[in-house]
Amino acid sequence: MTTVAKPARLASYRDPNFGTTVRRITDVVAQFGGQYAKPVYSTMPAWNADESYLILYVPGQGHKLFNGKTYEFIRNLSISPADLEHVYWSATDPDALYYPSGSTLKVYKPSTNTSTTLKTFTGSVSFGGDPVYGDWKSDLFGLSGGAGNILWTQSTATQKTAASTGAPQIGSSGTLYVQGQNVYSAGTNALLRTLTIKASEHAATGMYANGQDFWASVQFDGTSATGGNGNLIATNLTTGVNTTVIGESNGWGYPRVGTHMSAHAFKNPGWVAVSMTGSPTGQRFLDQEIALANVNNGVVCRVAHHRSAGQEGNIGYWAEPHVNISPRGTRMIFASDWNNGSTVDTYVVELPGYTP
């Protein structure tokens, strides 16, 4: 990892090891008087459907709305989601951001700066302890709490109880969901299969080009039957087949710690962004790196160094890169403490295919 001077806000540099454009989009101290500014999480989209808006989070100040293309700050969001990660852009309506708040599911509209209640449940609800971006039609929602573990369909305003415990983690097709190790039919609650990978590891849901759902995860205790160990193991939720994309069995070595993935490129299905911390010195491949992988054909591109120590550094959680892919898959946003520094800012990898 070649040394690079920290750029000014909105300035960019060419990653000397990968040749990609990386742009710094926040200066948390100068802009907000804060210490950390970052994407909310890898599994929940930072950008809205047409990439005109962008959400970031500043601890102690809440969620902040930015222009998704110029990266200029617009306003603080007056929303109170169940957790900082529980903000869910619609995949079909650029002017809709869903979030659970208390006993309600609400939708925020940036154009009017207002929130509306879509559904009131019995008791407090949330998207669960480790939420994933689910139905790409933004119709079926999985929530925990209230009267149980809930499947709520927006188009028909219908609610039913899921098959098991824990918030249903909805697949991108909206036809199935994951609870624990099991995959269920969203229509009938029938058990479809039990996953052989460890579903509790960091993971994200996505869709293959053929429309089937996949579960992208890091695995540290895998076997040959489950796809082995890897920074990216893709599990076809329709067939149950595990495929190693970045792992020991295809030459990438043992998975790096601090791995998160983002698979909601809903306008370019199959692309997955992966951020890996590994050793903060960045001397081995995959250490301190962001990769872009295609689960349709197994192509892996190493695209940038994020230069953040994450849990291996002084700041810990807030310095985790939590890479987040854009709907078209041409940009990836991430957080960085810039070589174990005292503050965290947000950066964007702008690939050659990106056009504002």
Q: Are residues 94 and 65 in the same domain?
A: no
Segments of the chain with pLDDT less than 70: 147
In terms of residue numbers, what domain contains 322?
A: 6-77+195-356
Last residue of a domain, one of 159, 193, 227: 193
CA dist., res. 220 & res. 319, Å (int): 22
Q: Over pLDDT 90: what percentage of the chain?
A: 96
Q: Are residues 224 and 315 in the same domain?
A: yes
Q: Are residues 252 and 162 in the same domain?
A: no
Q: Are residues 168 and 202 in the same domain?
A: no
Residue 292 in domain: yes
Residue 184 in domain: yes
Q: Which pLDDT does position 221 carry in this prediction? A: 87
Last residue of a domain, one of 137, 159, 193: 193
Q: Are residues 175 and 300 in the same domain?
A: no
Residue 1 in domain: no
Helix H or strand E segment including 125: strand 125-126
Residue 83 in domain: yes
Q: Which pLDDT does position 76 carry in this prediction? A: 98
Q: Quick check: helix, strand or coil at residue 264?
A: coil
Q: What is the CATH number of the domain that holds 172?
A: 2.130.10.10
Place of tokens 């624990």: 180
Q: Are residues 103 and 215 in the same domain?
A: no
Q: Are residues 131 and 186 in the same domain?
A: yes
Q: Are residues 121 and 64 in the same domain?
A: no
Residue 225 in domain: yes
Nearest alpha-carbon partner for 100 in 119, 114, 122: 119
CA dist., res. 27 & res. 127, Å (int): 30
Q: Give tens-digit pLDDT for 14-23.
A: 999 999 999 9
Q: Are residues 220 and 345 in the same domain?
A: yes
Residues 6+ apart with CB under 8 A from 204: 42, 43, 132, 133, 215, 216, 217, 261, 262, 263, 264, 272
Q: Are residues 203 and 321 in the same domain?
A: yes
pTM over 0.95: yes
CA dist., res. 232 & res. 256, Å (int): 10
CA dist., res. 346 & res. 332, Å (int): 11
CA dist., res. 162 & res. 170, Å (int): 11
Residue 15 in domain: yes
Q: Give tens-digit pLDDT for 225-270.
A: 777 899 999 999 999 999 999 999 999 999 999 999 999 999 999 9
Q: Hey, what amino acid is at 166?
A: G
Residue 212 in domain: yes
Degrees, nearest 5: CA angle 59-65-68? 125
Q: Are residues 176 and 217 in the same domain?
A: no
> In angstroms, what CA-CA distances link 152 with 70, 119, 239, 318?
35, 9, 25, 32
Q: How many domains, the chain?
A: 2
Q: Are residues 123 and 210 in the same domain?
A: no
C-beta of residue 268 within 8 angstroms of C-beta of residue 224: no
> In angstroms, what CA-CA distances link 56 with 162, 220, 326, 338, 349?
31, 30, 14, 18, 16
Last residue of a domain, one of 193, 228, 247: 193
C-beta of residue 331 within 8 angstroms of C-beta of residue 20: no
Q: Which pLDDT does position 146 carry in this prediction? A: 75
CA dist., res. 186 & res. 238, Å (int): 13
